[in-house]
Amino acid sequence: MARAAVSGRLTWRVAELAEATDITKSARGLVFDVPGWPGHLPGQHVDVRLTAEDGYSVQRSYSISSAPDGERFELSVQRVADGEVSPYLCDVLSPGDRIELRGPVGGWFVWRSADQAPVTLVAGGSGIAPLMAMIRTRAAEGSRVPFRLIYSVRTPEDVYYADELRRRAREDAGLDVHLVYTRQAPEGSPEPPKRLGLATLNTHGWPADFAPNVFVCGPTGFVETVSDIFVALGHDPRRVRTERFG
């Protein structure tokens, strides 16, 4: 798995959209079937290539959000207003349609289930995608590595996989989920909306003494702020892995 010959990983492959569902009002979960797919490690991404009729083509990266599952995987795409690629993926691409992609790509922002260190995951918005792959892989493999997810969203409507996360927080032993709302908190919430800060990361992440693996993913500004705080809290910078979505 994910050790396929380099030449195989980097070949452009045909991916057929098997299913598409709304994750939130502005994000779609796209499940692809890719013949010959070599498998992936949670945290890795693919490069997607779209080509217009006259041959013009563009590429973008998308993280895989599912656990390894044969030749099938899911991408979670946030619709970026005026975007060149994401609106096409979210609104036009339909089940049965085919696109090209290659991967899996990235060998650093990866959780390996053999690593027993506790894990702190911090997501901003669509940055949940590769972290979801880690949470799902942990469950699929029956891993007991303790996981804590801190997930920052604008409003309750922006939570990706809200039902699944709620269920997993109950059923996946050793998984804690903490949501932070930056614009609007759910009704009856004990806390007003606020930005993710030092206190939350300190309280809901693993302490530096436990030498956890920390994965931070989201928009650049978010990742900068959060990873700076982890360093200030005494975490070894080499254990704080980041993925910036642009």
Partner 1 sequence: MAFGAPLSSTDTMPIVSPGFTGRRQSPDVQLPPGQYLAEDFPVLTAGPTPRVTTDRWQFTINTEAGQRYDWSWQQLIELPAEKITTDIHCVTKWSKLGTRWKGVSLDVLLEDVETAADFALVQSYGGYTTNLPLEDLIDGQAWIAYRYDGDELTPEHGGPARLLVPHLYFWKSAKWVRGIQLLLEDEPGFWESAGYHDYGDPWREQRYQGD
Ligand X SMILES: Cc1cc2nc3c(=O)[nH]c(=O)nc-3n(C[C@H](O)[C@H](O)[C@H](O)COP(=O)(O)OP(=O)(O)OC[C@H]3O[C@@H](n4cnc5c(N)ncnc54)[C@H](O)[C@@H]3O)c2cc1C
Residues near ligand X (CB under 6 A): 45, 60-63, 76-78, 80, 82-86, 126, 129, 219, 243, 245-246
Q: Which stretch binds partner 1 (CB under 8 A): 21-29, 152-160, 183-191, 223-231?
A: 223-231
φ/ψ of residue 65, rounded to 5: -105, -5
Instruction: Give the closest residue to 18 by CA, choosing from 35, 4, 2.
Output: 35
Q: Which of 95, 98, 144, 164 binds partner 1 (CB under 8 A)?
A: 98
Residues 72 and 64: beta-carbon distance below 8 Å? no
Of 106 and 205, CB closest to partner 1? 106
For position 60 contacting partner 1 by CB under 8 A, the verdict is yes
105 sits near partner 1 (criterion: CB under 8 A): yes
- Residue 97 lies near partner 1 (rule: CB under 8 A): yes
Q: Is 95 in the site for partner 1 (CB under 8 A)?
A: no
Segment interacting with partner 1, rule: CB under 8 A, options 9-17, 121-129, 166-174, 182-190: 9-17
Q: DSSP assignment of 158-181, as one string? A: G-TTHHHHHHHHHHSTTEEEEEEE
Sign of torsion over alpha carbons 79, 90, 160, 173: negative
Closest residue to ligand X, Cβ-based? 83
Nearer to partner 1, 25 or 238 (CB): 238
Is 46:62 a contact under the CB 8 Å cutoff?
Answer: yes
> Is residue 96 near partner 1 by the rule CB under 8 A?
no
How is residue 37 written in tokens? 């797919």
- Among the candidate windows 126-134, 165-173, 187-195, 230-238, which touches partner 1 by CB under 8 A? 230-238
Strand spans (E) along 113-232: 119-124, 147-153, 175-181, 213-218
